[in-house]
Chain A
């Protein structure tokens, strides 16, 4: 998980019974983008975060949070 951004993308995807490929298709991105965001390797841009949130029917804040001090 990236130290600057916590995300619950994997949990949200699995909760909806979606594979990485299915979520990638819904969000119009590649599977490696889903993979790197889930693994905290890549911090998504605002547009990508909004796309993922829309694809999962969630808010951006549900998927991504700043770490609490």
Chain B
């Protein structure tokens, strides 16, 4: 099957792929953390993954993509979606932190475990919200 070389079409395809991929990454990150056992299960891998996702959220990915395509992928709508997604991640992290602080029975968490839960849920919320908003923007396009 041939693909168009029109920059708008290329940006459209890559933008859809990015939205799906980031959504799947968010779900996978959450699933892996939910299945993790032990106080400091694979903390090196978790740190690496968290930093990778934060970089993806900060840059929008596609650093090797042509400048024109990247500009189209990250135009007004995507920047607005990005702002909303990052805000959702922030509020999720804050509410999670408050929950860990106040909910009875979770005070046995170590500081490292608590940080891990807060960061994980913050990142997952941002990834999922960004993915949802981007896919909604593509709907019927």
Nearest CB of A to B110, in Å: 43
Q: Please state if B140 and A33 are interface contacts (CB–CB under 8 Å).
A: no
Contacts of B8 in A (CB 8 A): 21, 24-25, 30-31
Chain B residues within an 8 Å CB radius of A42: 76-77, 80, 137
Interface residues of B in 98-141 (CB under 8 A from A): 134, 136-141
Contact A33 to B9, CB < 8 A, known contacts A39-B140, A41-B137, A42-B80:
no
B141→A20 contact, CB < 8 A: yes
| Shortest beta-carbon distance from A7 to chain B in Å | 14
Cβ 8 A contact of B141, one of A28, A32, A48 = A32
Q: How far is the CB of B60 from chain A (nearest CB, A)?
A: 13
How many whole Å from B30's CB to the nearest CB in chain A? 26
Q: Are B76 and A45 in contact (CB under 8 A)?
A: yes
Set B6, B7, B9, B138: member contacting A32, Cβ < 8 A:
B138
Q: Which residue of A lies closest to B7 (CB)?
A: A25
A34 on the B face (CB < 8 A)? yes
Chain A residues within an 8 Å CB radius of B78: 30, 32
In this assembly, does A36 line the interface, its C-beta being within 8 Å of a C-beta of chain B? yes
Q: Cα distance A29–B73 when bound, in Å?
A: 9
Whether B77 contacts A36 by the Cβ 8 Å rule is yes
Besides A25-B7, A34-B141, 8 other CB < 8 A contacts? A20-B141, A21-B12, A25-B6, A30-B72, A32-B15, A32-B138, A35-B141, A36-B137
Give 9 closest A-B pairs by Cβ, nearest first: A35-B141, A32-B137, A24-B8, A30-B72, A33-B77, A31-B141, A36-B137, A31-B12, A25-B8
